[in-house]
Structures are given as C-alpha cells and as structure tokens.
Chain A
Amino acid sequence: MPKLSTAYHKLLEQWHTLTGCKYFWPVFMVAGLLFCAAASTFEFLDLYLQLILIYVGINIILTVSLNLINGYMGEFSVGHAGFMAVGAYVASLLTVHVFPEAAANILFPLAILAGGVGAAFIGFLVAIPSFKTRGDYLAIVTLAFCMIVKSVLENIDAVGGPRGLLGMEKLTTLPWVFFWTALSVWVIRNLVYSNFGRGVLSIREDEIASDLMSVDTRQVKIIAFVVSSFFAGIAGGLFAHALQFINPRMFDIIKSTDILIMVYLGGIASISGSIIGAVIYTILLEILRPLGIWRMVLMPLMLVLLMIYRPRGIMGLKEARLFMPLSDFLTEKLWRQKKKEANDAST
C-alpha cells in the first residue's frame, strides 16, 4: 500500500520538524509540569491514575539510570534495587526523624537529594571492584552489594529492621515526579552524548582498546556508577514517599529483576527505549491486574519470548530522533544510506 506508507512518511516528517524545533523541549517541559500540577491540585485525574503515573515516572528514572550501566557501558548490574533501598531509607529517615514536620513539604527535595547522594556513595563503592572484575563476576559483585544492603537494613533496629519504616507523609506528588524524571532523562541523555559518553560506549565495545586510546576507564566507570546509583536513590526516595511504607524485602532481587526486564524490554543503549519499556511494563501490569497472580506468570513468559524473537528489545541500540543531537542523527542517516548502497551494489 504505497499511499499509507507515504502518509506515514509525511506524518513522520512533520513529527521530526515539530520535535526538531528549538522550542519543543522547553514548551513540552512547561506544559508537562503545568499538566501535572493541575492534575494533582484540581484532581481531574483520579488518585488511582495519579498513582500509576507516579509509578511510571519512578520506573522511568530507574530504567534510564540502569541503562547507563547495562546498556551504554555494557556491564551487567543486577543490584539496582540496593541503590534504590539506600535512597529510600536515607530520604525517609530525614523526613520522618530529622526534618521538622511543619517544613517537611519544603525540605522534601532536599531529602530526595540526600537519598540520591547516599546511594551515589554506595555506587562509588561498587565501582571500585569493577576496575578488575568484569562480566558475570561483576554481576555477582553488584548482586552481593544489593544483598548486603538488604541484610544490613534488616539488622539495624533503628530503621525498623525487618518490620520496615513507617510514618512518611505522602510527599511524592505528580509535579515532583515529573520534575525528577525529566531531570534524570536530561542528565543521562546529555551525559551519553557528551565526550564522557563516548568513553562509556568505548568501554562497552572494547575496554582494552579504549584504554589504549587514552580513555580513563576507571574514571568513566566511577562516574557512570555514581550517576546511575544517584538516580536510583532518587527513585527510591520518591517510591518511599509515594507508598508511605518501606521494608527491606521490597528491595530484593525480584525488584532488581523488574528493572532489568524494563531495560531489556525497551532495549539497551536507548533513552527512548527505556522510557517506552518502563511505560509499557508498568501500564501492562496494571491492565492485567484482573488476572491476579497469573499476570506474574505472563510477564516472565513475555520476557522470554521477547528475548528469543527480538533479543535487542523494542528500541535496542536505536534512538528516537527526539533524544539525539542533530549531528548524530545526520551521521546515522548517512551511515544507513551508505550501508544500503553497499548492500545494493553487492546484490
């Protein structure tokens, strides 16, 4: 059907001109923030929908930040829930025990930030063994860190031990989630397309070669782990104040697997893929809620089928034009064209 495809291409072109416009992002941000603020003050979205949107935002932060390590740097980290736990506990302890109750609302971003910094510190510690160990062994190191965090939290009675921590106010609102989500996507996107981001990619392709090309692999690994765990901590803080209850068992390997599924569903090394993966996974889980426990059977089955038939995920190694700098977009276009020409010439 040639007509449909030309119509599609026209639409795509218009979409590209729209998103390529220099005012697109500022307008989108302001509109989004206003929409979220309006939704939470006037409640034209009911509370259930708002909660789902909050979870979507938190999952986007988690997925995008994990993609920095698992997708762009090509390591296999399975301990993301551990960083999230640190952020959740630090932020909750601050709002519950340290900050005066009257000012909790104003100081909330500080608490979230502190949660991020706490998680970033743990991320820094994990980065140190990653200098020498790689691949499966690094995966085990991250997992061990996650388990140690959980185990330590279970043994500290001051934070509730295995019973968990209560008493947070519902401070996570839709505008805040939008703000932090946009911030994390913005930071990681800019990081990936910066000079530093080239270093991250070069480690994925070949660590020794990138070392020889004078990439400071240690520094790159530290920064990548710190940034990734920082945003995981922020997501944890938001999660704690959305649910108003946390306990160590929430942040075990099952939670990490959830984040991994979102990353690989959306596709590695792709910001847009991460967003798509997080949105689809979160919403699908909600839609399938009537199935009860069977939805938890269906989801892993879907993951296995996805891995067999499309191992790269939905957007694997591809990026939406929206998140690419113009120069990268043009280079990729040129590269595709050349590849196509070479293919045509050979056949």
Chain B
Amino acid sequence: MVYIFQQALNALQLGSIYALIALGYTMVYGILTMINFAHGDLFMIGAFFCFLIAVYLHLSFVPTLLLSMLGVAFLGVIIERLAYKPLRNAPRVSAIITALGVGLFLENFTLALSPYPQHIPPLLENTTWTLGTLSISSLQILVIVLSLVLMLLLDFIVQRTKAGMAMRAISWDKTIVPLMGVPVNKIISLTFAIGTGLGGSAGMMYGLAYPVIDPYMGIMVGWKAFISAVIGGIGNIRGAMIGGFILGAVEIMVAAFFPSTYRDFVAFTLLLILLIVRPYGILGKPQPQKV
C-alpha cells in the first residue's frame, strides 16, 4: 500500500513535468496547427538557464524560476519571429522541418558551449519527511504544487482573459478573426511566450528533481511530452494536462513492475494503440474531412 502511494507520488511528479511541456506543444498546435519540434529543446534550455543563473548569479529559488522562464519565453518568441513566421503560409512540412532544424541547432549549440553534463546546485533545502516507510521530499511536493499552480494560471488566462479569448478565437478560425481587429501576430507571440515559458519552468523543475542536465535531455522528454499532448488530443489544453499525468503514471508503473528499460517501449506502444483506436486523443474531437 505504502509502495503504491510512493509510486503515485513519483507518477504525479513526472506527470506534472510532462504536462507542463505538453501544454507548450498543444498551445502552439492549437493556434498555428504546427508541431513545434524545438519545444523539447527549449525545455532543455530552461534547465541550462537555471544552471547558469544558479551558478553565476547565486539567486534564490523564485527569482531563478522567473528569470529562466522569462529567458526561455524570450527565446521562444525570437525563434517564432525569425524561423516560423516567414513560413506561416508555406507548406506545413517546411514548418515542421524548420522546427526540427531549430531543435537540432539548440541542442548542438548548447553542446558546443558545454560538452559535459552539468549539475544544478540545490537551490532549496531539501527536507525529507518519513511517515513509516513512506518518504516524501519537499522537492517533490514543490514540483507538483508549482506545476498545478502554473496550470491553473494558464487555464485562467485562456478561459477568462481577453488575450485568452483571442487565442481560442484564432484556433477556431484564422481568416475571420483578424478581420475582427484581433492582433494575430501579437497573440501568436504571446502564445509562444507562455508555452515556451511553461516549458522552461518544467526544465528547471526537471533539473532540480533529476539534477544532471545535458544538451540532449530535451529530445526524449520532449517526445514523451508530445505523446502526452497527442494522448489528450493535440490542440486541447486540458487534454494535454490529463495526457501528461496519464503518461507519467504509466511510465512509473512500468518502471515499478518491470525492468525500467521497458519504459520507452510501453510508452510508445501505448501511443500506437491509442492512435489506432482513437486517433484524435481523449479530449479531442474527430474532424471529419470535407470533400
């Protein structure tokens, strides 16, 4: 029983990180119908920003979080402006290839600057409470609570504010909405900023929870987050959150009961089965093709 509760905590921790990254994928997809394959690498950049700030500026937890989120958001907006905007009317495949290219660029650029894995110094005192055989670390609680707060904040922005309304409108219809006076470019930039900022925060939390960071860490985590977004129904924000927690739970369960090398195998098989049975995800709506 205790063991299951322990694993559930681990699943929540991993799932909340996946969910935070998946949100970036799904927001960008919803508004541009484009898969931003560089998103996983922006997550990695977030972890590296956190490392740089913690090592050279010696700031405490909250300023580090805010600064690295801001930095990643800024980078995301710049990437959108320079690389994706010229391709907005090009065939969709070119945009995807560009995104792959940007991702590779970020990975290799970071690799060129920091060829060795780095270690993020602990920003917080990590206390571990033990209840019988169950051990809960404050870091774990922090990751889960912080991600939930960020997700609720995002949900509030998207559902209750004017900018959020504009985002939903653009993902609904791209031709009419600009005619209604919605500044499309600004809203797209804002979407990128929020999405990549969340990814950056996830990078920092991942870096604190699993302290060794390297330039290629974004690939696998990024793809897993992408799977979460697809499981929930890509383009659907609440779906991405649910998908993240589902994938986190599945992975932790597999690692708990099987050799942990089967994690990827099970995760991807799950994705495959889901895509064949329900290709539009859990919360997504099937889109009939018009002829």
Contact = CB atoms under 8 A, between A and B. Distances in A.
Interface in A112-163: 129, 132-133, 136-137, 139-141, 143-145, 147-148, 150-152, 154-155, 162
Interface residues of A, number: 41
A155 B272 contact: no
**Interface SS majority for chain A:** helix
Contact of B105 (A151, A293, A301, A308): A301
Contacts of B87: 307-308, 311
A133 B51 CA distance: 41
A123 to B, nearest CB: 15
Interface string B90-121: 11011111101111110011011001000000
Interface stretch (B58-66, B245-253, B262-270): B262-270
Contacts of B279: 132-133, 137
B31 interface: no
A140 B94 CA distance: 17
Contacts of A264: 93-94, 97
Given A144-B271, A311-B94, A300 B223 contact: no
**Interface SS majority for chain B:** helix
B98 A76 contact: no
B179 interface: no
A147 B264 contact: yes
B289 interface: yes
Interface in A258-276: 260-261, 264, 268
Interface in B262-289: 262, 264-265, 268-269, 271-272, 275-276, 279, 289
Interface string A90-107: 000000000000000000
Given A129-B276, A293-B108, A307 B265 contact: no
A140 B271 CA distance: 9
B50 to A, nearest CB: 22
A208 interface: yes
A208 B289 CA distance: 9
Given A76-B93, A208-B289, A155 B265 contact: yes
A300 B104 contact: yes
A309 to B, nearest CB: 8
B273 to A, nearest CB: 10
Contacts of A140: 226-227, 230, 271, 275
A155 B263 CA distance: 11
A299 B291 CA distance: 40
Interface of A: 70, 76, 129, 132-133, 136-137, 139-141, 143-145, 147-148, 150-152, 154-155, 162, 208, 253-254, 257, 260-261, 264, 268, 293-294, 296-297, 299-301, 303-304, 307-308, 311
Given A150-B264, A155-B262, 13 more contacts: A133-B276, A133-B279, A144-B227, A208-B291, A254-B104, A254-B219, A264-B97, A268-B93, A293-B112, A303-B104, A304-B98, A304-B101, A307-B95
